[in-house]
C-alpha cells in the first residue's frame, strides 16, 4: 500500500530547493498520505465506530446508523466529574433543551488528510513547472561517475562560461523560487485555519483547553 510513497522520500540526484522546502513536499506530504490510507482502510474496510446499547439492536446495524448520522456531545457534561457523573467529558444522557455540540467531521478525515497532502505538494509542483529542469540541463552530466576527466573538465568549463555569460540574467528564475517558498508559508498558515474550520473552531483552542483540563 505504501510502496507509492517511496518516490516522495527518495533522494534526488539534482536538488533545486532547500531542506525546509523538501520537508513540505516529501516528509509532510508522505506522512499525510500514509495517515489518509490508514484512516481510509479503517473506515471503509474495518470497523470505524463502535456504539454501545442495551437494546436488542444488532451491533453492525447500530454502528452503521451511528456512522451515517453525526454524533454530538452535551455541553453541560464537559465539566462533570469523569467516572462519577459521566463516563467521559461531554458524554451524558441528553435532555431536550440542553445545548449540543455536533461532531460531523470524522467521516471526512481521510479526505481532508489527502487534501492537506495535495496542498503541501502544490508549491513543489509549481516550482518544477517553472524550473523546467534548467539545473539538470546545465549540469552536463557532471554528476555521472563514468565521465572521464577530460570531458568532465570540458563540461565544467562550459558550465563556468555559461554562468559568466548569463550573470544577472536569471532574476525571473529567482522570483519563481521565492514565490514558491512564499506559497509554502501561506499553505502552512492556511492549513491552520482549514483545521480550525474543519474541527468546528476546536483546533486553535485545543492547547489552552488541554492546559485547563490538566489544571496546569
Distance CA 108, CA 87 (A): 26
Query: What's the chain's average pLDDT?
Result: 82
Where exactly are the structural domains of the chain?
A: 2-131+170-214
Cα dihedral 187, 13, 138, 153 in deg (nearest 10): 150
Q: Which residue has the higher pLDDT, 125 or 55?
A: 125
Cell numbers found for residue 88: 467521559
Q: How many CB atoms lie within 10 A of CB 49?
A: 16
Give the mean pLDDT of 4-26. Answer: 80
Q: Give the pLDDT confidence of 79-92 residue by residue, as tens digits.
A: 788 888 888 888 88
DSSP 3: G
Amino acid at each position: 500500500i505504501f510502496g507509492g510513497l517511496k518516490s516522495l522520500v527518495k533522494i534526488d540526484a539534482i536538488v533545486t530547493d532547500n531542506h525546509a522546502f523538501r520537508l513540505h513536499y516529501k516528509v509532510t506530504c508522505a506522512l499525510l498520505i500514509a495517515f489518509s490510507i490508514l484512516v481510509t482502510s479503517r473506515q471503509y474496510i474495518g470497523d470505524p465506530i463502535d456504539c454501545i446499547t442495551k437494546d436488542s439492536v444488532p451491533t453492525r446495524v447500530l454502528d452503521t446508523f451511528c456512522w451515517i448520522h453525526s454524533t454530538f456531545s452535551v455541553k453541560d457534561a464537559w465539566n462533570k466529574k469523569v467516572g462519577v457523573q459521566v463516563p467521559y467529558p461531554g458524554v451524558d444522557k441528553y435532555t431536550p433543551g440542553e445545548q449540543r455540540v455536533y461532531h460531523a467531521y470524522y467521516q471526512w478525515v481521510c479526505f481532508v488528510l489527502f487534501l492537506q497532502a495535495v496542498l503541501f505538494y502544490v508549491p513543489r509542483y509549481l516550482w518544477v513547472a517553472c524550473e523546467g529542469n534548467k539545473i539538470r540541463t546545465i549540469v552536463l552530466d557532471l554528476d555521472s561517475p563514468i565521465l572521464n576527466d577530460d570531458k568532465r573538465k570540458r563540461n565544467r568549463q562550459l558550465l563556468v562560461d555559461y554562468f559568466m555569460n548569463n550573470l544577472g540574467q536569471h532574476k525571473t528564475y529567482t522570483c519563481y523560487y521565492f514565490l514558491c517558498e512564499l506559497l509554502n508559508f501561506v499553505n502552512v498558515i492556511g492549513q491552520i485555519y482549514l483545521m480550525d474550520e474543519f474541527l468546528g473552531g476546536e483546533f486553535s483552542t485545543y492547547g489552552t483547553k488541554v492546559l485547563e483540563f490538566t489544571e496546569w
